[in-house]
Structure 1
């Protein structure tokens, strides 16, 4: 099994992903979670560059590669972690990234066998994230690198509506894809979680957050539906 790296979602720390990390390790995948703390996201607020996250991702990928006999790993990005991973795979300078001690520009994608995104908003109408996502989609549209297997997992759990219990989903979907009355995982609408040319999956009754008291993408009962794509 290839070593696997988990990149947490926006404003989330590594601790929330430890159960998923342990589940993958139990299945034979040497697994590493990028050791983010919630405060590590503060420099990125307001649509600012995600450079600090890319730095920690790169350090963790290098750690995982040291245990790989093939020179490749799997990369799992939850929520914003998915589109940040797409920046990491890329070879074009991302603000100051070309000045960082990252894997040589243009080489990172050669080390990724599979990029698997969980509830990632690959598009956005929200002005604070629009610049970053426009950079990603303008430079690396869809399943951009032929040598990388792209797998995008979406949840079909809540239909957004302007009524109690569904208003948060409606608002989040509208800010993401411009339409509130659609299906998604409560935060990310299905239409935003998929990429053209990727292997796109839809899972019923899966909630967005690893802190949800209900089933989320990394819950033990959901894991078998997508883990086979990492083998």
Structure 2
């Protein structure tokens, strides 16, 4: 029987943006909920501040889902920042940001069978994410927990260039991995979206966000490629 599944929204996204993805997973037999975040829930986190509030909401959702479905594990699907936040959530070390210490680590890796990240910048030069990403990559590098299957999905859609149509991608890629002239989903370059030791996938033609026009990671055709990795 498919495991219950929890979607973790990306930065500045709310749960509503993932309704269609959740409905598609439900149709495939996966009981699915999205962490009930609002866009304004992200605003206090700007500037490398703690993402503890987001993880508290994630933990509450996971525990609810486990209880409701009498399950021992879930699938996690983290879009964009939701992917690296999920990696912190799996961990067992005290988490701190902006001088504050989270003394009760979530230590959730036994509860997660599969972690799928969609367009997640697992490395970044950006000021607002740098501290948090250094924390997760120093403490839990790569596909760290061997009891969890990590699946990292990248998009090969837009090549970053210093010309019309490529400037946004170029700037975003450069802020993320330090190189603007590379391929990615328009926001996250492929090189940043993958982890050592994970099942690393590249899908042509997908854009970063569910708000983008056209195809994104949760659209029907891309979904067919990565959903097979869910338990």
Q: TM-score range by the shorter chain?
A: over 0.9
The corresponding residue for 2:185 is 185
What per-residue deviation string (whole Å, max 9, x for no partner) do you get for residues 102-155 of structure 1?
xx743x100100000000000001122110000000000000000000000000
> Structure 1: which 5+ residue stretches go unaligned?
none
**3-state SS of paired residue (1:115):** strand
Give the count of matched residue pairs: 226
The corresponding residue for 2:102 is 97
The corresponding residue for 2:160 is 160
**3-state SS of paired residue (1:53):** helix
2-structure distance, mates of 1:127, 1:211: 24
The corresponding residue for 1:175 is 175
1-structure distance, mates of 2:81, 2:174: 17
The corresponding residue for 1:15 is 16
2-structure distance, mates of 1:105, 1:118: 22
1-structure distance, mates of 2:204, 2:102: 38
**3-state SS of paired residue (1:216):** coil
Q: In the TM superposition, what are the counterparts of 1:36-47 in structure 2 within 5 Å?
A: 36-47=37-48
Q: Which runs of 4+ in 1 moved over 6 A?
A: none
Contact 1:176/1:189 (8 A) holds in 2: yes
2-structure distance, mates of 1:211, 1:91: 34
1-structure distance, mates of 2:226, 2:27: 15
Q: Does residue 57 in structure 1 map to residue 58 in structure 2? A: yes
TM-score of the pair, normalised by structure 1: 0.95
1-structure distance, mates of 2:222, 2:145: 27
The corresponding residue for 2:125 is 125
**3-state SS of paired residue (1:222):** helix
Q: In the TM superposition, what are the counterparts of 1:59-78 in structure 2 within 5 Å?
A: 59-78=60-79
1-structure distance, mates of 2:23, 2:93: 34
Post-superposition shift, 1:42? 1.1
2-structure distance, mates of 1:115, 1:195: 12
2-structure distance, mates of 1:207, 1:197: 24
> Structure 2: which 5+ residue stretches go unaligned?
none
Post-superposition shift, 1:68? 4.0
1-structure distance, mates of 2:128, 2:3: 35
2-structure distance, mates of 1:211, 1:110: 33
CA RMSD across the alignment: 1.1
